[in-house]
Structure 1
């Protein structure tokens, strides 16, 4: 090989290296960032930008306050490392060690390395993580891009404050509350301003998330603060109409007083309590989470979204049910979904500890209202009535044992997810211009979160969160290689989710991957579900599990809160 050829090859290699380096540098509104490469599940090159600040660290005087614009930086910001998670413990996975850092308001952006034709921008999926408003983070070891980014789409995943630090509220102007949700809105505003610099389309943003993340998704649909920042929304197993999504009146003030006592803060006035709490170490605050749990991890979500006073910058000023009935929602595509055994994470916890089942049986009248959260929303008489009806309907007034795992799973599936989502879907169809789709995920593949929740010795079915396993990668499962069946489900879900982001319609066309047209719900008394039964079969079904949802429709869950009317 002569010297001329060698020089040409060297020049080509040199230009390739620097061309590649150039694509890893992006200028956004606050400065230049440099990312790194990673590989998708199928070996596609991904450009990953992690740890991008979208707000100032919410520390010292900014604790318990809405997010604030970050400072610009000079030079090049290293966007190649995971960012700190927000302070938390993880009771869902039985981990009560406090971890994280208050300086946690960072986000990640992932884009495929593809040649985009001039003017062609990619749709964007914006993920909000799960964790009961108490735990969770956006790092790629938990919610990674490696499955989704085999499609032509950009993924944005922000951190947001959780637990006491994200959802403390005094019910007045001192700390109106919902700062975790306001962090997410701030990240959506960041996306609106900056995503075009990554080749993303700011007019094709879909928010999606599971569990409490789904509750957040639906809350953004009903919030005036988030209007115009996204075009579609996908709520996996969660809604703003669930009892765990929005605090009943008076709950947060009671919790602040309890927290103040636990941390030796004065509680003579709320203002004094908050001033003291701003000075307490963040880990000491988060460590009190467990003091609000009375049975297993119940009541779940002791610190959660609230109805704020009528102040400027309020996230919501009315209950989501009332907002939907007023028609004052974002008119976007809205997708709800459940897994067939969504509530299975609860019995898997209970049957992992025989003492919990014993106490559930011995103290049913106390534990069930506490666990299902109607103890704070129903009057005393109605609470007793609801509890007796539950015991009769689900358990035929018998003791609960391992032969009743299915019934216990149905109880939590219906109360936490299925009934409130059905209510939300029907309300939206009747009162808003939101286009509503609904799916049921029944594929039992090789991935399940059940062993992480508790008992791994029994078959609990398709658990809470199992659907997102086939959309976002995580490191829970080690070096996961999809089976042929898993890959079919991955292809189906990611194709439809990207379709939603791109067009607002999950099945604009049918092919070998998407074989069944997914129809929207058009009548409030005729709920249509896209039922994914297995890797080869999906069909439209009508009014599924009707007896179970009708049972919940007749219960006076909100009798203590006279202003909330669930009737259509």
Structure 2
């Protein structure tokens, strides 16, 4: 590969706000891949280390026109030099900035310290591939948004972030050949194949790929671990706050959801073919703007609106072929090293928004059997669902009417356990029988959060996504932490443990000043060890075992 850049990495201007500025084009690095030449930019990490950034690169053909709802196709070669100096657009989703949205969104970003060049050896670094959260309907891998690389680029790795199709465009599943489903997950597979083919050109090791996923991204990883399409495309996994081993069933289709989308976009749903043909003609942006009307309770329930599906066989390559929990019970998954865990409080926001809204609180209180299965993700309108609802209400909320004062703590825990906790803890218990798993709970309370209550300056506990504030930079939530900030110690600890794991399959490093007093031992089902990541790093046992047992009894393994 040919590299054109200055002899010492990049002499870049670093703004006082902590945002890296690209150098003029004549100083930008250019790499040569089998697809063509790519121009990147030179940036600085949170501590001022130089690194290269290649952003907005296509890893698949734009999924437009007849390719909408279809599995992705490989990107074709190009002539000239591809401009990868800035982020590509987000996939269609609810946003106030529609200029940053496009269906041509299957883009990948690579951040690296070292590029191979003629006459020098290629020292290939471990690669961390980040799969973003967002419930399969929001967020992106953009560097300026919620996937900034500045913290990870303080470490000795290659970082990759990417977009995948969201909402109906990524997860329409009709149970027919027109849209068998899982297109967004197949996008991720295509990106992993792109990484295998090209990451060495950016100084990465294709034989040392760690998947790091959060929420929907974590749920994705737990499917890649069992998908025949993903075999051998990665070698370690960091599964943060979600799993597919949940109380909700993985369906064979979500035709009802497709029909709801069709009605919102004024399409017929008389037949599947007519519906899909009509949806192919609609403006891609409309799928994102119509999303709030797809939910059933409040602004965002059920949180997991779009689901992966067990695809019927229409001759296509199938991403998911069997029930994930049963597959894990059989041990039929990629038995690779894993880190997995949850935050202390997880989903506080829907509990707060429900109890502070008189209408929603009344609906949930007076018709719990109807709304609880929707909000807490289990079967609906059956005798068994009523029994489950009764048990959950008794355990978490007690006998009295719902109120902000008396019910908030219980409803926060009920949302946390139903949406994240149970599925993640069950995943850890299942995979630990076959491979090494490091379990954690993130309990560090910083000054910034994704949820503030009772005022706009007081974080409500340590909620979903709060641990990401110390791994990836997101300017709308928190500043870039420096040595002057109390949060910096947690940035150092998390990025060092996660990158140690990428290097050695072990998050420990007794020679590291930030980790030398910590020995994180793998999980076993007898002691149920976990590392509590708070103000201190401390090994503890039996994480939320009483709450886990409630769910385990309601949804036993068979």
Aligned to 2:261: 259
* Cα shift at 1:368: 1.5
Q: Is the 8 A contact 2:62 2:105 kept in 1?
A: yes
Aligned to 2:472: 472
Q: Is the 8 A contact 1:112 1:150 kept in 2?
A: no
Q: Secondary structure at the match of 1:443?
A: coil
Higher helix share: 1
For residues 14 and 373 of structure 1, do their structure 2 counterparts lie closer, same or farther at Cα, with a shift above 3 Å needed? closer
Post-superposition Cα deviations, 1:269-302, rounded to whole Å, max 9, x if no partner, equal 2122212211122223333322321212112232
Aligned to 1:435: 436
**Structure 1 length-normalised TM:** 0.88
Post-superposition Cα deviations, 1:31-55, rounded to whole Å, max 9, x if no partner, equal 1111111221111112111111111
* Cα shift at 1:17: 9.9
Q: Secondary structure at the match of 2:385?
A: helix
Aligned to 1:561: none
Q: Distance in 1 between matches of 2:395 and 2:65?
A: 51
1:276 aligns with 2:281: no
1:120 aligns with 2:123: yes
1:421 aligns with 2:412: no
For residues 14 and 526 of structure 1, do their structure 2 counterparts lie closer, same or farther at Cα, with a shift above 3 Å needed? closer
Post-superposition Cα deviations, 1:79-120, rounded to whole Å, max 9, x if no partner, equal 112201101116xxxx79896110101111111259998342
Q: Secondary structure at the match of 1:485?
A: coil
Q: Distance in 2 between matches of 1:271 and 1:44?
A: 54
Greater shift, 273-282 or 182-191, is seen at 273-282
For residues 96 and 545 of structure 1, do their structure 2 counterparts lie closer, same or farther at Cα, with a shift above 3 Å needed? farther
Q: Is the 8 A contact 2:376 2:418 kept in 1?
A: yes
Q: Distance in 2 between matches of 1:146 and 1:359?
A: 44
Q: Secondary structure at the match of 1:88?
A: coil
Post-superposition Cα deviations, 1:463-494, rounded to whole Å, max 9, x if no partner, equal 11111110111111464334543111111111
For residues 57 and 97 of structure 1, do their structure 2 counterparts lie closer, same or farther at Cα, with a shift above 3 Å needed? closer
1:493 aligns with 2:494: yes
Q: Distance in 2 between matches of 1:288 and 1:18?
A: 44
Q: Is the 8 A contact 1:112 1:154 kept in 2?
A: yes
Greater shift, 37-46 or 473-482, is seen at 473-482
* Cα shift at 1:64: 0.3
Q: Distance in 2 between matches of 1:15 and 1:413?
A: 51
- The equivalences for 1:134-145 within 5 A come to 134-141=137-144, 142-145=146-149
For residues 544 and 481 of structure 1, do their structure 2 counterparts lie closer, same or farther at Cα, with a shift above 3 Å needed? closer
Aligned to 2:396: 394
Higher relative contact order (CA 8 A, sep 6+): 1
Aligned to 2:218: 214
1:131 aligns with 2:104: no
Q: Is the 8 A contact 2:340 2:440 kept in 1?
A: yes
Greater shift, 380-389 or 392-401, is seen at 392-401
* Cα shift at 1:158: 0.8
Q: Secondary structure at the match of 1:343?
A: coil
Q: Is the 8 A contact 1:386 1:555 kept in 2?
A: yes
- Structure 2: gaps (5+ residues): 12-22
* Cα shift at 1:174: 2.3
1:46 aligns with 2:51: yes
Q: Distance in 2 between matches of 1:114 and 1:268?
A: 55
Return the match for 2:522 from 496, 520, 537. Answer: 520
For residues 480 and 99 of structure 1, do their structure 2 counterparts lie closer, same or farther at Cα, with a shift above 3 Å needed? closer
Q: Is the 8 A contact 1:369 1:387 kept in 2?
A: yes
Aligned to 1:5: none
- Structure 1: gaps (5+ residues): 1-12, 557-564
For residues 272 and 487 of structure 1, do their structure 2 counterparts lie closer, same or farther at Cα, with a shift above 3 Å needed? same
Q: Distance in 1 between matches of 2:210 and 2:478?
A: 29
Q: Is the 8 A contact 1:236 1:336 kept in 2?
A: yes
Aligned length: 533
Aligned to 1:370: 374
Greater shift, 289-298 or 31-40, is seen at 289-298
* Cα shift at 1:66: 0.6
Q: Distance in 2 between matches of 1:15 and 1:335?
A: 38
* Cα shift at 1:151: 0.5
Q: Is the 8 A contact 1:28 1:194 kept in 2?
A: yes
Q: Distance in 1 between matches of 2:10 and 2:325?
A: 54
Q: Secondary structure at the match of 1:408?
A: helix
**Structure 2 length-normalised TM:** 0.89
* Cα shift at 1:408: 1.5
Q: Distance in 2 between matches of 1:553 and 1:76?
A: 55
